[in-house]
Amino acid sequence: MGKKKKVTFSDIAKFTNFSKTTISRYFNDPDSITPENQQIISDALVKLNYQENKVARILANGKTEFIGIIIPNLYLHYYSEMLNQILCTYEQYGYKFLVFIGNENENTERQYIQELMAYQIEGLIVLSHTIPSKELADLKIPIVAIEREDLYISSVNTDNYSGARQAVQLLASHHCQIMLHINSPTKENIPAYGRISGFLDYCRENQIPHEMFIEDLGINDEDLHQKFTCILDQIQMKYPDKKKGIFISNDTYASVFLNLLIRRYGKLPDDFYLVGFDNSPISRQAVIPISTVGQQINKIAQESMKLLVGLMDSQKKRNPAPLSEPVHKTIPPLLILRDTTEKNIF
């Protein structure tokens, strides 16, 4: 069989009765031709089985169809699941992704951003916390943040505050006598701070005894085990005869704490009620499935890509209009009841 002939702009022009200039504008400046003519050319591409030369198109218009992602780590299951959901949007939007893991290192992340800019990314999704949003906004490309400080850039976040209140309300419904919240230090301008303020406000409004354990818990098994062992020792020393309602800031930490309880007592003790946050896969897969405040991770990923693609499309217009201010979207959480609170199923 002979080699299949590549379809050229001349072939498309002849098939549609348009000029080659019009065909070129379809690929490089589609807004310059009418929607009706765009549809005629699009239909012709299907009929001719046209396969685009991506490299040639990049050289012609500078558009790479690459999106950069800066993510803090893959240890916390929330981040790995969010990355998975973002990558799954390729079939819908056609954008490819260049992913860097910052590991909380500000200088390293700046180097990664320089690398991404050298690849002429068209947009950026940022989940890491190290670089201020003002500095990111100065990059002059469309950016969407997820669950981080976002004063100067657009974002999609969970309603962390209402989620925390739902968690404490659930624990209170089981008549827990002391409420405990375990979290890492969190700045007030970070959306996840709502987990702290929501916990505190609910306890204070309802005059429920409570205590906070705010510590740098680390991002590896050894550090987490050591820190949670210390916290558990303190809890048992202070509240040995009380029913304890424990709200932990994410499902990875909640799973580590649950495993520690099971190793120590052979089960989840009757006086411990546990709620995590995220609804990442580990909460479902734990040896005792963990009740959690479910961030709608798939919806956050979809909304982030929808917002970013809209911002990128806007920049591609003949006369792009800059945003007057960043767009901030909030996704409501869903309380998910599992075995660490619903003990009547045992």
Beta bridge partners of 214: 183
pLDDT of the residue at 55: 47
The 10 Å CB-count burial string (b at 16+, else e) for 215-240 is: eebebeeeebbebbeebbeebeeebe
Strand order across the beta sheet in which 123-126 lies = 96-101, 66-71, 123-126, 143-146, 154-158, 328-331
The 10 Å CB-count burial string (b at 16+, else e) for 252-288 is: bbbbbbbbbbeeeeeebeebbbbbbbbbbebbeebeb
Helix (H, G, I), strand (E, B) or coil at 13: helix
Beta bridge partners of 328: 155
Helix 9-16 / helix 20-28 crossing angle, nearest 10 deg? 110
pLDDT of the residue at 234: 96
| All structural domains of the chain | 9-35+51-61 (no CATH), 66-156+298-331 (3.40.50.2300), 160-296+334-345 (3.40.50.2300)
Helix 20-28 / helix 54-61 crossing angle, nearest 10 deg? 90
Alpha-carbon gap, residue 209 to 196, rounded angstroms: 15
pTM of the model: 0.80
pLDDT of the residue at 2: 44
- For the chain, 346 residues long, the average pLDDT of each consecutive 10-residue run is 66 89 79 85 82 52 79 91 95 92 89 90 94 94 96 96 98 97 95 97 97 89 91 96 96 95 95 96 94 96 96 77 84 97 67
pLDDT tens digit sequence for 56-100? 455 444 566 899 999 999 888 899 999 999 999 998 998 999 999
Given a contact cutoff of 8 angstroms between Cβ atoms, the answer to whether 122 and 305 are in contact is no
